[in-house]
Amino acid sequence: MASPAGHIDTVLEARAGILAYVLLALAGAALLYPSLLHAVQVWSTTEEFRFGFLIVPIAVALIWWRRRELRLSAGGGSGWGLAVGCPALLVYVSAWRMGIHALAGVAVSPLLLGAAIYLWGWRTGRVLAFPLVFLAFGLGVFRGLLDTVGFGLQQLTASGATLLARGMGVPVVHDGLNLSSRTFDFVVAEACSGMSSLVALLALASLWIYLSRGRPWARLVVLASVPPLVIVANSVRVALVLLVGDRFGEAAALGYFHGLSSLVLFGVALGGLLVVSRSVRCQPFARAA
C-alpha cells in the first residue's frame, strides 16, 4: 500500500505537470496572438478572405474529432521536435519583425507541430499534422495575393468569359479587363477574379482528401484540379453576367443576378471537384473518433 507521503508526492507531480502545460499554452498563445490578430484584420477587411473565420474552428474541430487517437498516441517526447520547431520559430520571429505577416502566419503550423513532437512524440505529431497545416489557409493569406495571383485570374477570367459569351451569341469586345458591347460595359474587377473561391476551394479540397480514402496520386489530382476548375467556373459566371447584360441591360446584370452568380461560381467549381474526386476514386470515409 502506498504511503500518504507517496500519494501526496504523486498528486503534487501531477499538478506540477498540469501547471507546466498551462504555462506553456499561455506562453504559446502570447507568442502567436499577433499572427491571429493580423489574420482577423485581413479576414474582416478583405471580402475575398472572409472564409478565414472558418479555418481555425475547423482545425480545432478536427483535433477534437481525433481526440481518442491523440490520447493513445501521446508518449515520450522526441528531441527531433526541436529540429522542426526551432527553425519555424526563427522564421516566425524574423518575419514578424520585418512585417512579413503572411510568412509569420505560415510559420505557425510547423512551430506548433514541432512543439507537439517535442512534448509527445512523432505519433502525436502525425495525428496533429493536418489540422495544424490547415491553419495556414487562414493565417497565411495576405492582401498582396489579390495583386499577383488575383490579377492573373482576372485576365484568364476575362479571356475565358469572352470565348463563352461569344459562343452564346453575345457580341463582346475584349480589351484587357474591359468587356463591352452596345448594351453594357463591364470591368473584371478584383472581386470578380475568383481569388476567394480559389483559396477557399483549395482549403476545402485539402479537407476533402484528408477525410477520403484514395491513393496518393489520386489525392494530388483532386488538389491540382482546383485552379483550373475555379478558372472555368468563374469564366462561366462572368459569361452569364454578360449574357444577362446583353439581353436585359447592364443594370439587370449588375443587380440581383450579379450577387446570385457567386453561387453559380462556387456550385460549378464544387460540382467539378466532386466529379474529379469520383473519377479518381478518392471517396470519403469515416475516421475513428
pTM of this prediction?
0.83
Average pLDDT along the chain: 85
Under a CB-based contact definition with an 8 Å cutoff, are residues 43 and 50 in contact?
Answer: yes
Instruction: Please state, in angstroms and rounded to a whole number, the distance separating the CA atoms of residues 178 and 185.
Output: 7
What residues contact 10, with CB distance under 8 A and at least 6 apart? 2
Asked if 271 and 240 count as a contact pair (C-beta separation under 8 A), the reply is no
pLDDT band at 288 (very low <50, low <70, confident <90, very high): very low
Contact criterion met (CB below 8 Å) for 52 and 37: no
What letter does residue 74 receive in the DSSP assignment? -
Q: Give the number of other Cβ atoms within 10 Å of residue 69's Cβ.
A: 18
The per-residue pLDDT for 289 is 40
Digit-coded pLDDT (tens) for 159-168:
999 999 999 9
At residue 17, the pLDDT reads 53
